[in-house]
Amino acid sequence: MALVSMRQVLDEAAKGGYGVGAFNVNNMEQIQAIMEAARETKSPVIIQASRGARSYAQDRYLVHLMQAAVELYPEIPVVMHLDHGNGVATCKSAVEQGFTSVMMDGSLMEDGKTPSSFEYNVKVTREVVEMAHANGVTVEGEIGTLGGIEDGHGAGVSGLAHLTDPDQAVEFVKLTGVDALAIAIGTSHGAYKFTSKPTGETLKMDRLIEIHKKLPGVHLVMHGSSSVPKDLQDVINQYGGKLRPTWGVPVEEIQLGIKNGVRKINVDTDNRLAITGAIRKVFAETPEKFDPRDYMKPAREAMKKVVALRMNQFGQAGHAGDYQPLTLEEVAKRYK
């Protein structure tokens, strides 16, 4: 199966009332972990690479690894998505490289830190939509900004500083024609999202529901959606790590989101935690080992477990074979 359009995967998810996890990758083992989890659970997948991932791995490695994935797992529809594109040129280069979906995050300026104006956001996003749709490629936009900056991306403030305004979201979708819309409801990237289990005061699910009511036909995206489970934190700390106590987004809140229009759920941190914990364990328990396979295998297995669990929890499990993927050429014609 070739790489597929994210729009088609999300349209199908909307029909079936489920969500699809979008998992970040930087290397072969992370792609393998996702594909194995997808096979086990029979799930369609969205695999995403950030600008940092593209510079770490190089596009050609990423593209060929993704092509290997679709060749080895022909029963799984796979979307290759650019996470947090910071400008038209970044999105254009991703389309040229073969990504089937891009995020134009115009909620921030090109530095990925400074909140932008509504007008700027509309302008750059609209430009990316025109370029991408002509190629059958999906576009995710963002309105409102996430909190946090620890991974180098974000406004560097509390997740509550720039929540999405529901009326602006309606206007933004109308003016840009995006396929999917990322919204800010109090989450942040990284491990340190909340200092205690989130409540309605810190995680604004009511805001999400309000946006969904105004935009019932739009695929909503939740960023910063790692749950930061305590058991994964504990493994890291047990084997010499130093994570401060922290809380993520509870899975039941994500499931509430899925009932209210959320179709794409971004998860990176949980997998980073699983990988780090597994590697620390090998290093601590068998310090004589130095073959990278001795720690990369358990790391890959630990990530696979997390991804398979999320695929079941988000509801995408069992849906890999529901539909015949369209070619990007067919999708491009439909956009016209």
For the segment 2-61, give every residue that binds ligand 13P (CB under 6 A): 24
Amino acid at 175: L
Letter string b/e over residues 61-75, b meaning 16 or more CB atoms within 10 A of that residue's CB: ebbebbeebbeebee
Residue from 223, 264, 281, 304 touching Zn ion (CB under 5 A): that is 223
Q: How far is CA 310 from CA 181, 233, 241, in A?
A: 21, 17, 24
Letter string b/e over residues 172-202, b meaning 16 or more CB atoms within 10 A of that residue's CB: bbebbebbbbbbbbbbbbbbbbbeeebeeeb
Among the listed ranges 135-143, 200-208, 218-226, 291-299, the one in contact with ligand 13P (CB under 6 A) is 218-226
Catalytic residue among 59, 83, 151, 206: 83
Contact call for residue 52 and ligand G3H (CB under 6 A): yes
83 is catalytic: yes
* SS3 category, 21: strand
Q: Residue 220 in contact with residue 212, Cβ under 8 Å?
A: yes
Among the listed ranges 135-143, 146-154, 178-186, 288-296, the one in contact with ligand G3H (CB under 6 A) is 146-154
291 CB burial (10 A radius; 0-12, 13-18, 19+): exposed
Query: Please, what is the minimum distance in Å from the beta carbon of residue 319 to ligand G3H?
Result: 25
Query: Please, what is the minimum distance in Å from the beta carbon of residue 107 to Zn ion?
Result: 10
Q: Residue 54 in contact with residue 29, Cβ under 8 Å?
A: no
Phi-psi region of 183 (alpha: psi -120 to 50; beta: other; left: phi over 0): beta
Nearer of residues 12 and 268 to ligand G3H, judged by Cβ: 268
Distance (Å, whole) CA 169 – CA 6? 20
Contact call for residue 223 and ligand 13P (CB under 6 A): yes
Residue from 12, 83, 140, 210 touching ligand 13P (CB under 6 A): that is 83
Residue from 11, 151, 294, 301 touching ligand G3H (CB under 6 A): that is 151
Query: Please, what is the minimum distance in Å from the beta carbon of residue 90 to ligand G3H?
Result: 12
- Write each residue from 224 to 263 as x if it is in contact with ligand 13P (CB under 6 A), else as -, in one continuous string: xxx-------------------------------------
Neighbours of 3 (CB within 10 A): 22
Contact call for residue 268 and ligand 13P (CB under 6 A): yes
Counting residues that bind ligand G3H (by CB under 6 A) gives: 11
* SS3 category, 236: helix
Query: Which residue from 140, 145, 91 is spatially nearest to 118, judged by alpha carbons?
Result: 145
Contact call for residue 319 and ligand G3H (CB under 6 A): no
Contact call for residue 189 and ligand G3H (CB under 6 A): yes
Residue from 54, 81, 133, 189 touching ligand 13P (CB under 6 A): that is 189
Residues that are catalytic: 83
- Write out the residues near Zn ion by the rule CB under 5 A: 223, 266
